[in-house]
């Protein structure tokens, strides 16, 4: 099985998660920034990682997802965000990534908190949107993704790869042919 881990990371959060995921894969593997990837064709599984921008994928991210997530290709999404994982605002944002990748076979999705960069936080704190100002005020993302979140990413990678391996083994089990069935039933 050939696996590609590719990501977009402006502040380093998504890169850290990509490296944690990559380190747990025991198959033929490669890790690259998504800007360096012309096509994911030829990979059995591709992990695609992005940060949340503009309450979901921004235009660049959406175009990259639409470009790579075609023809039922097997992808696993991993997303970083400044919001705590239990934020009620998060599910619709993550759904936007699933929607942008809808033409792929989305095997699974991982998300975790990453640190909100200072410039974005400063901008959010002065915007006219009271909700964004409040998010900047209550931001608790400093130091994320921490070691616990990176360990969750490693666990996710091991678990999803084990499920894929088990699925591959199950489908590879030879079904008995008619002669074998006849011999067993006699």
pLDDT above 50 for 22: yes
Q: pLDDT of 36-93, one tens digit each?
A: 999 999 999 999 999 999 899 999 999 999 999 999 999 999 999 999 999 999 999 9
C-alpha 105/C-alpha 114 separation (Å) is 26
Apex CA 61: angle with CA 123 and CA 40, to 5°?
A: 155
Q: Read off the pLDDT band of 173 (50, 70, 90).
A: low
Cα separation values, 170 from 43, 74, 130, 146, Å: 20, 18, 53, 36
Read off the tokens for 181. 């069935």
Domain map of the chain by residue range?
2-185
The domain made up of 2-185 is a member of CATH 3.40.1260.10: no
The reply to whether the predicted model has a pTM over 0.75 is: yes
């Amino acid at each position: 099985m050939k696996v590609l881990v590719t990501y977009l990371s402006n502040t380093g959060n998504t890169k850290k998660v990509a490296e944690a995921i990559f380190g747990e894969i025991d198959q033929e593997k490669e890790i690259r920034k998504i800007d360096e990837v012309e096509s994911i064709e030829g990979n059995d599984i591709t992990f695609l990682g992005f940060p949340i921008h503009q309450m979901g994928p921004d235009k660049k991210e959406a175009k990259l997802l639409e470009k790579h997530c075609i023809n039922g290709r097997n992808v696993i999404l991993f997303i970083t965000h400044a919001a705590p994982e239990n934020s009620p605002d998060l599910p619709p944002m993550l759904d936007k990534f699933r929607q942008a990748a809808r033409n792929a076979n989305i095997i699974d999705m991982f998300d975790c908190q990453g640190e909100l960069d200072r410039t974005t936080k400063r901008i959010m704190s002065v915007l006219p949107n009271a909700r964004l100002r409040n998010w900047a005020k209550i931001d608790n993302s400093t130091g994320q993704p921490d070691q616990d979140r990176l360990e969750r990413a490693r666990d996710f990678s091991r678990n999803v790869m084990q499920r894929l391996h088990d699925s591959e083994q199950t489908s590879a089990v030879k079904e008995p042919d008619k002669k074998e069935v006849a011999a067993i039933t006699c």
